[in-house]
């Protein structure tokens, strides 16, 4: 090869290397950058948690959290794509970029904050006991010494075991005396067990909105007592992934606007028949 040819070859290799380096450096380094680059927002949610979120037979999603997620996407200027991993996989962190955020009525707790970053709350729900009609129980005292069902990895299970901590110093009270616990993959599996005619446990602890949804569906249960605590619920992002700082700043602005312009209150009235967007009982 001539000297000129060798020089041209070296130049070509240099240009190629520079191009590859430029491509590498253009990869998103933040969560906001990834969303903007992908031109979509991938949201994890629960496919079986009505009226918050539900995957319908036609493949579409509906519910309060679905409306919230779609509105966030709209205000970010990107469409929303939903995915439905197990709840325990969401709360454990380490998502590996499989989805961008969780909009799934997740409570902000100190334990979860070790692996997840949270937005400001977009609503607050009361935790409510229910009992199967088969049990004949109608009061909280009636649940003493009974078996209580809750979803795996939920704040309800943590509260029943005395480990729930929102980081506010608030006294969250105690369960009825002597209760034992059992867990199923999701909250609604507890009610579905009663629906199937199996009564291995007498009580159920979940969100008041989920209890009301089960009652509206005609499931064999009754709400028992007053709410036992209120949960601050937020959007979550994975701390082990790309930097979430700029995304959360933008998201918190969107949530503040949705509170201020009544969007969140409207969604709450639509799905729950009351406004759960305030931090005190409605």
**What are the structural domain ranges in the chain?**
31-124+233-272, 125-231
Rounded CA gap, 75 and 51, in Å? Answer: 23
Question: Mean pLDDT across the stretch 58-78?
Answer: 98
* DSSP labels, 197-258: T--S-SEEEEEHHHHHHHHHTT-SEEEEEEEEEEEEEEEEEETTSSB-HHHHHHHHHHHHHH
Among 16-25, 175-184, 222-231, 261-270, which is the least confidently predicted range? 16-25
User: 170 pLDDT band (50/70/90 cuts)?
Assistant: confident
pLDDT score of 22 more than 70: no
- Give the single-character DSSP code of 6: H
pLDDT grade for 3, boundaries at 50, 70 and 90: very low
The CATH number, out of the four listed (3.10.20.70, 3.40.190.10, 3.30.1330.20, 2.30.40.10), of the domain defined by the range 125-231: 3.40.190.10
The answer to whether 159 touches 169, Cβ cutoff 8 Å, is no
Asked whether the predicted pLDDT for residue 168 surpasses 90, the reply is no
Tell whether the model's pLDDT for residue 228 goes beyond 50. Answer: yes
Query: Has residue 24 got a pLDDT over 80?
Result: no
Q: What is the mean pLDDT of residues 196-215?
A: 97
The contacts of residue 26 (CB under 8 Å, 6+ apart) are none
At residue 282, the pLDDT reads 46
126, 206 contact by CB (below 8 A):
no
d(CA 52, CA 129): 18
Average pLDDT over residues 245-257: 99
Instruction: Outline where 123-171 has alpha helix (H).
Output: 155-160
Q: How many helices (H) and strands (E) does the chain have?
A: 9, 12
Q: What is d(CA 63, CA 72) in angstroms, rounded to the nearest whole number?
A: 14
pLDDT of residue 226: 95
Q: What is the mean pLDDT of residues 94-103?
A: 98
Query: Is it the case that residue 14 has pLDDT exceeding 70?
Result: no
Peptide bond into 197 cis (omega under 30): no
Compute CA 282 distance to the chain's CA centroid, rounded to the nearest angstrom: 22
Whether the per-residue pLDDT at 162 is higher than 70: the answer is yes
Instruction: Give tens-digit pLDDT for 110-145.
Output: 999 999 999 999 999 999 999 999 999 999 999 999
Residues 6+ apart with CB under 8 A from 217: none
pLDDT exceeds cutoff 70 at 5:
no
Give CA–CA dist 204/224, Å, rounded.
10
Radius of gyration of the chain (CA): 23
What CATH number does domain 31-124+233-272 carry, 3.40.190.10, 3.10.20.600, 3.40.50.300, 3.40.630.30?
A: 3.40.190.10
4 pLDDT above the threshold of 80 = no
Q: Decide whether 31-124+233-272 matches 125-231 in CATH topology.
A: yes
> In the structure, what pLDDT confidence band is assigned to residue 32 with cuts at 50, 70 and 90?
very high
Residue 12 has pLDDT above 60, yes or no: no
Q: What is the pLDDT of residue 224?
A: 98
Which pLDDT score is estimated for 205? Answer: 99
Q: What confidence score (pLDDT) does residue 280 get?
A: 65
pLDDT of 25 reads 53
């Amino acid at each position: 090869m001539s000297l000129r040819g060798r020089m041209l070859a070296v130049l070509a290799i240099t240009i190629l290397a520079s191009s590859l380096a430029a491509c590498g450096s253009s990869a998103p380094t933040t969560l906001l950058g990834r969303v903007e680059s992908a031109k979509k927002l991938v949201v994890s949610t629960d496919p079986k948690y009505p009226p918050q979120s539900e995957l319908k037979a036609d493949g579409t999603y509906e519910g309060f959290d679905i409306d919230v997620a779609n509105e966030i996407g709209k205000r970010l200027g990107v469409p929303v794509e939903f995915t439905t991993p197990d709840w325990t996989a969401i709360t454990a962190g380490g998502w590996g970029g499989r989805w961008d955020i969780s909009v799934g009525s997740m409570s902000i707790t100190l334990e979860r904050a070790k692996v997840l970053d949270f937005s400001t709350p977009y609503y607050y729900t009361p935790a409510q006991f229910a009992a199967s009609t088969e049990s004949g129980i109608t009061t909280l005292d009636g649940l003493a010494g009974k078996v209580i069902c809750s979803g795996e990895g939920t704040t309800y299970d943590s509260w029943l075991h005395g480990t729930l901590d929102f980081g506010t110093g608030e006294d969250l009270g105690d369960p009825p005396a002597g209760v034992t616990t059992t867990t199923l993959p999701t909250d609604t599996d507890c009610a579905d067990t009663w629906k199937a005619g199996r009564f291995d446990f007498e009580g159920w602890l979940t969100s008041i909105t989920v209890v009301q949804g089960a009652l509206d569906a005609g499931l064999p249960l009754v709400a028992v007592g007053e709410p036992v605590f209120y949960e601050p619920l937020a959007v979550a992002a994975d701390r082990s992934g790309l930097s979430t700082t700029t995304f959360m700043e933008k998201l918190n602005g969107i949530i503040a606007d949705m509170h201020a312009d009544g969007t969140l209150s409207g969604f709450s009235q639509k799905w729950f028949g009351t406004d759960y967007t305030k931090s005190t009982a409605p």
